[in-house]
Structure 1
Amino acid sequence: MLSEFQETLLQSVKAYQSTQLVKNKYENVLQHLDSGIMLFDSDGVLTFVNVQMARLLEIPRHSLIGCNLLQLLRHPHLSRFKKKKILRLYRETIFYRKKNHELVDEYGRYWLTTVTYGDQMDGDFLLSVKDVSDFKLIEQTAYQNDKLAMLGKISAAIAHEIRNPLTAIRGFIQLLRPHLIQLGRDEYARIILTEIDRANDIIYEFLNSSKPTAPQKTVMSITSLLKEVVLLTESEALMKGCEIHLKEADTVMNVSIDVKQIKQVLLNMIKNAMDAIEEVEGDHAGVIDIHVKPEGRYVNVTIRDNGNGMDKALLARLFDPFFTTKEKGTGLGLSVSYRIIKNHRGHIHVDSVKGAGTVFVIALPLVI
């Protein structure tokens, strides 16, 4: 009888140990997921938080376990920015029954937050947070490419529709020219023909700008091109009260590029930097720093200014076609630059702080 009891007890202990091993195994998996996880019980008490979530909140795990939502919001280590996000999450979940939320943190990263509750959770609330910044970047890139493709189609249609009547007008003016000469008004015909030709040139430039042609590549030193660009812009920069500093690399870095197109991109970036410096009020010594640096299979061209800078809302629309904050701007410069760099299998990264300046980094493949 005793041995049966001991055997039953032993089996119970083994089953408990086995259950604990499985529990510890799954808990260990949850702890090391790349998604942040929090679990609140039916009383609203935090019973589990994994390493990633504690890292996101920037609070030690041991000080979170056992907290309710109010205590979490009052935690001395929780930043004001995160408190606002948690309150927004709470309101949208409780009052609007929203289960999926997209948040942007103070570092500009995108997070997909999912709240799971109901019968399947036995009254508990599971909060999971996943970094979707890379997916968001892919989505934004695809959206940008779609807009640029649409811009090219619109530009081609506009150019075609305007060119046709201009061609007709030019033809009739040439027919009328002998009569104008007889009346002593040949100057009128010359002016009209000149202005029509100028309109055609503007249309041609617009069409080429909005839809860059395939690059005609030649191999050259990126430093040589930058020296040429600085030479072209430094006099205008001095007139606008700023200096351009070019820091050359120790090694020769060759790139395979369409020189005309990449020069257009660099000139556009430097002109934008000059405009941003002009926006700063008061006696401000403007500086534009340009330096080149190899980064793996790419060469990075960094253009940094101490101008007015941009906020996050403006940064998000920076490469949109026709979007501009300038009174006489077309909004095509940066969208065209974006496409040119993409056509060269490179990429552009921009970072800016309002009132502190802007940094553009253009990455182009190296010729090895």
Structure 2
Amino acid sequence: LSESKFSRLFYYNPVGILIVRVDTLEVAESNPAAEEIFEVESKTLKLKKLSGLGLELKNMTLEEFIKKMEEEGSVPELDATIHLDMQHVKVCRLSAVSIELNRALNIIVSISDVTRQEQLREALDRKQKVETIGILAGGIAHDFNNILAVILGHIGLAKLRIKDPHSRVPIEKAEAACLRAREMTGNLLSFSRGGKPVLGVCTIKPILVDFAMQAVSQSSTACLFDISRDVWAVRADQTQLGQVVSNLVGNASQAMDKAGIVEIRARNRDFSGMGVHRRPAGISGKVLPPGRYVEICIKDHGPGIPDKIRKQIFDPFFTTKQKGTGLGLSIVYSVIENHEGIIDIESSIGEGTSFVLYLPAAVDALESENSGEYGLKTASRRVLLMDDDQAVREAASGLLETLGFSVVEADDGYEAVVRYRDALVNGHVFDFCLLDQIVPNGMSGSECAKEILTLDPEAVLFLCSGYSDDPIFSEYREAGFRALIKKPYTLEELKSTLGNHLVS
């Protein structure tokens, strides 16, 4: 190999190359790729000892590496890390071979920066773990939420019939327990495709303030808000985003032994037209697409997160708490991913930790939704209720009748279409329909809605279910539904939703 060819291979090689003197173990030469990896100029690398480059070999000490070179003349590819400073670590793969240059024995060390590939691999592993839990969660969620719907429905009816406040206490405690069970189901569904967000346009300030204050209500922690006055709205599922805020603020409070200040910041970030290197990348290594985003930062002043566990904290069931479930940050990660956003983490030992979220902004305009200015007028209103579960139908019918509606039941979409058609023929039109989405071995709620809207384009429809990975749940308005009612629901929640969407 001629000197000119070697020179070209050295300088234009995309792999970082160091030429190290065997006698002194100092760097004699480095190519531009190596300078980029170590983020220093060639003159800074020159004459630095191999031990002073921040290299840490996996499964081998530097002394063992040198000994292997002396005995065998080469070291096959091995994993290593480069510690550029306390916060900045690169993952690389390294190999070496002895070679005689200018009548002196040297070591050629080849280094490839695989930090990005490792981030993507870890993100894929994390995603597979989350999906596995999601499959388990989704398998039971529909039936479990139906059971809770029956219990909550009958509790609501019992509360109305018992006037004595003392006698209502056990019932209200049972209702509170059901609502906690509903929250647990929601946590598990955040892992699954059935936890796909129902996107709407959300004003960010009330979500941050309300859920953060709720998360620290049982502690001595204070929240310090810095929310830009002109901060954009975001496209998000308000319930899931609130869960993210609650989990992160709750963790921040616990990191400070429930006494301290949690800083919560929100501001606009416009990455439109920016190149890939100027846009942020999250813990998964995914770079944000160009566009407008809202940046949310939640910072504590706790002990910080050690480097050795920083990559694990988003894994399902990983926890450092004695009574922790290890699901909180996994839920946060899954929700943000499902919202087409990213999450990153900055932490310094002894100084605290910041979680930084980026969510797509809804710059155009807030959706105009009725907010209950129309009262819930129920006199002589007829309702078509479709659900395949008889117990759920009975509970829902009881709630609707308590609100003053006249209810006609159907156990699947086919029967609901027939009943709606008969009502049109006989002149007894239904004022609205409440349709369950999942009907095993029958017509689903969305299919039923399509048939009903063909019969009556002015039909008022509500979609209801406890779980589904059907896209209809994030696009229910496009399918002709007024609103989505998630099972299980309380009497108050049902009344509120109907009151927001039914005109007196």
Q: Which interval holds the TM-score relative to the shorter structure?
A: 0.5 to 0.7
* 1:232 Cα deviation after fit: 4.1
> Which structure carries more strand by proportion?
2
Distance 1:287 1:365, change over 3 A: closer
Offset of 1:61 from its aligned partner?
4.0
32, 56, 78: which one pairs with 1:101?
Answer: 78
User: CA offset at residue 124 of structure 1?
Assistant: 5.5
Q: Is residue 55–residue 80 contact of structure 2 (8 Å, CA) maintained in 1? A: no
Q: Report deviation, 1:33.
A: 4.6
State yes or no: 1:243 paired with 2:216. Answer: no
- SS of the residue corresponding to residue 289 of structure 1 reads strand
Alignment: residue pair count: 310
Provide structure 2 residue ranges, at least 5 long, that are not aligned to the other structure. 152-170, 272-290, 364-504
Per the alignment, in what secondary structure is the counterpart of residue 61 of structure 2?
helix
Q: Which amino acid aligns with 2:223?
A: I
Question: Counterpart amino acid of 2:308?
Answer: A
Which residue in 2 is equivalent to 1:215? 197
What percentage of residue pairs aligned between the two structures are identical?
23
Inter-partner Cα distance in structure 1 for 2:251 and 2:89 = 23
Deviation per CA, 1:123-178, whole angstroms, max 9, x where unpaired?
753211121111111111111110001111233457799999x99xx9xxxxxxxx
**1:243 shift after superposition:** 2.6
Q: Distance in 2 between matches of 1:266 and 1:350?
A: 15
Q: Which runs of 5+ in 1 are unaligned?
A: 1-18, 171-189
The residue that corresponds to 1:138 in the other structure is 120
What is the one-letter code of the residue matched to 2:95?
T
Which residue of the partner structure matches residue 303 of structure 1?
298
Aligned-partner Cα distance in 2 for 1:206–1:321: 12
**Residue 88, structure 1, aligned to residue 61, structure 2:** yes
Q: How does 1:224-239 map to 2 (within 5 A)?
A: 225-234=204-213, 237=216
Task: For 1:156 and 1:39, locate their aligned partners in 2 and report how far apart those are by CA, in whole Å.
Answer: 56
For 1:194 and 1:238, locate their aligned partners in 2 and report how far apart those are by CA, in whole Å.
Answer: 21
Alpha-carbon deviations, 1:87-123, whole Å to 9, x = none?
824514744975112222321221121224589xx97
8 Å Cα contact 1:40/1:126 also seen in 2: yes
Distance 1:89 1:365, change over 3 A: farther
Counterpart-to-counterpart distance in 2, 1:52 and 1:125: 17
1:243 maps to a residue whose letter is: A
Flag the 1:239–1:215 CA change in 2: closer, same or farther, 3 A.
Answer: closer
TM-score (norm 2): 0.51
Q: TM-score, normalised by structure 1?
A: 0.68
Question: Aligned-pair RMSD on alpha carbons?
Answer: 4.3
Q: Report the alpha carbon displacement of residue 248 of structure 1 after superposing the two structures with TM.
A: 2.2
Deviates further, 109-118 or 200-209: 200-209
| Distance across 2 between alignment mates of 1:34 and 1:315 | 30
Shift of 1:208: 2.2
Residue type of the partner of 1:249?
A: S
Please list, as runs of the form range in 1=range in 2, the aligned pairs for 1:310-349 lying within 5 A after superposition.
310-349=305-344
Structure with greater helix percent? 1
Aligned to 1:362: 357
Quick one: distance in 2 between partners of 1:158 and 1:269?
27
**Secondary structure of the equivalent of 1:246?**
strand
Q: Letter of the aligned partner of 2:118 in structure 1?
A: K
| CA contact 2:134–2:189 (8 Å) conserved in 1 | no
The letter of the residue matching 1:273 is A
More relative contact order, 1 or 2 (CA 8 Å, 6+ apart)? 2
The answer to whether residue 11 in structure 2 is matched with residue 31 in structure 1 is yes
The aligned runs of 1:1-368 (5 Å cut-off) are 22-23=4-5, 27=7, 30-31=10-11, 33-40=13-20, 48-54=29-35, 61=42, 72=49, 78=52, 81-82=54-55, 88-89=61-62, 91-92=64-65, 94-95=67-68, 98-106=75-83, 107-117=88-98, 125-156=107-138, 201=182, 204-205=185-186, 207-211=188-192, 213-221=195-203, 225-234=204-213, 237=216, 240-278=219-257, 285-296=260-271, 297=291, 298-368=293-363
Is the 8 Å Cα contact of residues 155 and 206 (structure 1) preserved in structure 2?
no
Q: Distance in 1 between matches of 2:175 and 2:227?
A: 45
